[in-house]
């Protein structure tokens, strides 16, 4: 159930970024402490699982947001990064729709591999 919701969330995001025009994105400066792409994929993957789980377990959006706020701090601590590092990395990678498509595709592939090991 969670995997299907994750798939849907990733699919919707991919659909949204594919509809953007190429002119809307321009790579700005590279942040000083930019997370490398592999680490960003792991952190974003955990954040997606958190969001799907919080929304699934709580139909109340305010409560789900509170759970996400608290739990996201745990995820950031697990990966030994700050909220600003995560935000800067997200904004940097999101400027390039093809790069974000690659990142979300990798996250989806990783989930499919995990799912196949569970079955």
For residue range 24-49, list pLDDT tens digits in order.
444 557 888 899 999 999 999 999 99
For residue range 50-59, list pLDDT tens digits in order.
988 888 887 7
Sorted by where each begins, the domain ranges of the chain are: 2-16+31-118
Give the 3-state secondary structure of the chain: CHHHHHHHHHHHHHHHHHCCCHHHCCCCCCCCCCCCHHHHHHHHHHHHHHHHHHHHHCCCHHHHHHHHHHHHHHHHHHCCCCHHHHHHHHHHHHCCHHHHHHHHHHHHHHHHHHHHHHC
Q: Residue 1, class by beta-carbon neighbours within 10 Å (0-12 exposed, 13-18 middle, 19+ buried)?
A: exposed
Categorize the per-residue pLDDT at 3 as very low, low, confident or very high, splitting at 50, 70 and 90: low
pTM of the model: 0.73
């Amino acid at each position: 159930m969670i995997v299907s919701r994750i798939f849907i969330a990733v699919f919707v995001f991919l659909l949204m970024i594919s509809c953007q025009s190429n002119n809307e994105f321009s790579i700005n400066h590279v942040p000083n402490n930019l997370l490398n792409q592999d680490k960003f994929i792991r952190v974003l993957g955990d954040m997606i699982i958190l969001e799907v789980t919080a929304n699934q377990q709580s139909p109340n959006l305010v409560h789900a947001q509170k759970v996400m706020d608290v739990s996201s701090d745990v995820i950031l601590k697990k990966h030994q990064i700050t909220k600003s590092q995560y935000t800067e990395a997200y904004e940097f990678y999101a400027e390039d729709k093809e790069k974000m498509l690659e990142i979300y595709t990798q996250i989806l592939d990783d989930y499919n591999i995990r799912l196949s090991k569970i079955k």
